[in-house]
A = this chain, B = another copy of it.
Amino acid sequence: MSIRVAIFDDNKNIRSSVIMLLNTDPDFEVVGTFSDAKHCVDNVLTSRPDVVLMDIEMPGINGIEAVRILTREFPHVPILIQTVFEDDERVFDSICAGAAGYLLKNQLNSSLTEAIKELKTGGSPMSPSIARKVLQLLQSSGERSRRKPSEEYNLTPREKEVLSAIVNGLSYKMIAYELNISYETVRSHIKKIYEKLHVASLTEVVAKAINQNIV
């Protein structure tokens, strides 16, 4: 059974050249070509593609927004971005919008058919330079978010509980109630936490705790 492909691209030449390329291969069937994404949901609904090819720069709704919409409506239809842009911003936005692949147009012909097949089998085809960029983005985002408790601050388990409660916005009284200890004990713990984190107010504690995710 052939792979049903829908194409969104405002450039007529590109549309027809992609169609031609795919028609030479019996594995593919172009079930829809659209010059903008204004009615992308309806378009996908009626043409029922297995995969979608999406341009970024289009009149009206841009491709990234369309990806966002389509992945929400049709989570099982992988979308391949095909564009000339390779700035971090757009690459990142596309991925976050839910794109399953990202191909640069300058090397479209050479690998498009292969990429679509890969998409269909659960892969994520990317142009080499895009792949590198994606890894770098992941690295930088990873350094931030899961930086180990580099400085552990030597918080005791109990202190961490209290800290966590504070970050969740509980007052001392509520914490005392939650942990089944007295108000004064909560205060003691918090004093210790202040010392250990080298801060002098609740807001600083919260900020530090979140930023260095000690919680």
Contacts and interface: CB of A to CB of B under 8 A. Distances in A.
A139 interface: yes
Contact of A134 (B134, B144, B203): B134
A20 interface: no
B100 A135 contact: yes
The dominant DSSP class at the A interface is: helix
A142 B206 contact: no
A95 B126 CA distance: 16
Given A131-B123, A169-B207, A207-B167, A138 B139 contact: no
A142 B138 CA distance: 9
A5 B131 CA distance: 21
Interface residues of A, number: 45
Given A201-B171, A203-B166, A206-B203, A128 B124 contact: yes
Contacts of A201: 169, 171
A138 B171 CA distance: 35
A143 B204 CA distance: 25
Interface string A128-161: 1101101101110111111000000000000000
Contacts of A134: 124, 134-135, 138
B95 A142 contact: yes
Given A124-B126, A125-B131, 5 more contacts: A92-B142, A123-B132, A124-B135, A126-B131, A141-B145
Interface of A: 92, 95-96, 98-100, 118, 121-129, 131-132, 134-135, 137-139, 141-146, 166-171, 199-204, 206-207, 210-211
